[in-house]
Structure 1
Amino acid sequence: MDTFYWILIGLSFLLAFAALVFPILPGALFLALGFVIYGLAFSFEPFSILFWIVQGILFASLFAADYAGNAYGVKRQGGSKAAIWGSTIGLIAGPFVIPIPFIGILIGPFLGAALAEMIIHKKGFKTSAKVGIGSLVGFIGSSLIKGIAQAMMIAYFLWTVL
């Protein structure tokens, strides 16, 4: 039965990493689910106050990285709040609108930010495209940071329980 629980824990962690590519998935919650499965199946005893504080800080960093990465990329290229919102909408809608989900994740934020700048602020194509590229770079950067934070969370979890 222990193997079954470890498989569930592993699957929840894999889903957390899948959320880096499919942002519609709640990656941080899948990480937390792995911790809860372990606690319910085995014991919550290994999880000290320090464990929960460290995990809480890293958990919060996952959410902060999403917004900060996108906002930084857009603002660095002269984009507006409309471009940030457009990028976020494009990130969520892209995999569903574009037939190849991975391509949709890359094109969605770019198109969302660029279209928001062109429609809301009446900026030209070249300027809007720069903002779109900034959004895409911000998304890729935040995904990298989130991947590192998630790996740190899992490593600390494993170090604590093994």
Structure 2
Amino acid sequence: METSLILVIIAVICGIVGIVGSILPGLPGPPVSWVGLLVLFLGGGGANGAGEPMSLTFLLIWLAVTVVVSVLDYIVPAKFTSLTGGSKAAGRGAIAGLLVGMFVPPVGIFLGTFLGAFLAELLVARKSGMQSVSAAIGSLLGFLFGTGLKLAAAGVMMYYIIVYIG
């Protein structure tokens, strides 16, 4: 098999794993997608529809986007949870619920995040039912927002992987 074809296959696999990793916890979605762009760049970069090769500037911009999205993925859920009155227990509960919910995808991921935050607020932080629901909603919204950011970034990088294979 030709080296450039192997690199193209690796780049596409990275793009696909990046999209999947944007939804499933444990897989670093956007960083894996960026590796796909890096593999194409190091393999000669291909060219887009206009015949322009991938530039180092393009690659570095997507590295910055990847770093920002990855950092925000840690900050946003905690911020949403605290804005709705949730404690650190809600954040931990949401993560635990998310991990348990992975065994019943896709509903379990969302329901697990919500229930984990709710139960943690109710049982650990000893908040009222309504306060616990509010924190759980904030935790779920933070998770959805973070996931949406990662999915958008990984999706656009997959688009560019395909464009630069061209």
Identity of aligned residues (%): 30
SS of residue paired to 2:127: coil
User: In the alignment, which of 46, 59, 72 is matched to residue 66 of structure 2?
Assistant: 59
Going from structure 1 to structure 2, the CA distance change for 1:12 and 1:160 (only over 3 Å counts) comes to closer
55-64 or 26-35, which deviates more: 26-35
RMSD over aligned Cα atoms = 2.6
Find the residue that maps to 1:101 and give its secondary structure.
coil
Hey, which of these two has a bigger chunk of helix by percent? Answer: 1
Q: Which moved more, 1:72-81 or 1:148-157?
A: 148-157
What CA deviation, in whole Å up to 9, does each residue of 1:22-49 have, x standing for no partner?
1222213321331343245x23695644
- The structural deviation recorded for 1:79 is 0.4
Match of 1:149 in 2: 153
Counterparts of 1:133-144 in structure 2, within 5 Å, are 133-144=137-148
Q: Which shifted more, 67-76 or 149-158?
A: 149-158
1:86-139 residue CA offsets vs partner (Å, 9 max, x unmatched) = 22232233213xxx2212210121122112212221112222122111111111
**Deviations for 1:34-85, whole angstroms, at most 9, x for unmatched residues?**
1343245x23695644234312211112212312331232112100122122
Contact between 2:8 and 2:165, CA under 8 Å: does it hold in 1? Answer: no
Indicate the residue corresponding to 1:50 in structure 2.
Answer: 57
Residue 49 of structure 2 corresponds to none
Of stretches 17-26 and 148-157 in structure 1, the one that deviates more from structure 2 is: 148-157
The normalised TM-score by structure 1 is 0.79
| Aligned equivalents of 1:69, 1:83: Cα separation in 2 | 14
On the 8 A contact 2:118/2:132 being kept in 1, the answer is: yes
Counterpart residue identity of residue 153, structure 2: A
Greater shift in the superposed pair: 26-35 or 118-127: 26-35
For 1:146, the aligned partner's letter is K
> 50-59 or 100-109, which moves further after superposition?
50-59
Question: Which consecutive unaligned segments of at least 5 residues does structure 1 have?
Answer: none
CA distance in 2, matches of 1:15, 1:126: 38
Contact 1:21/1:105 (8 A) holds in 2: no
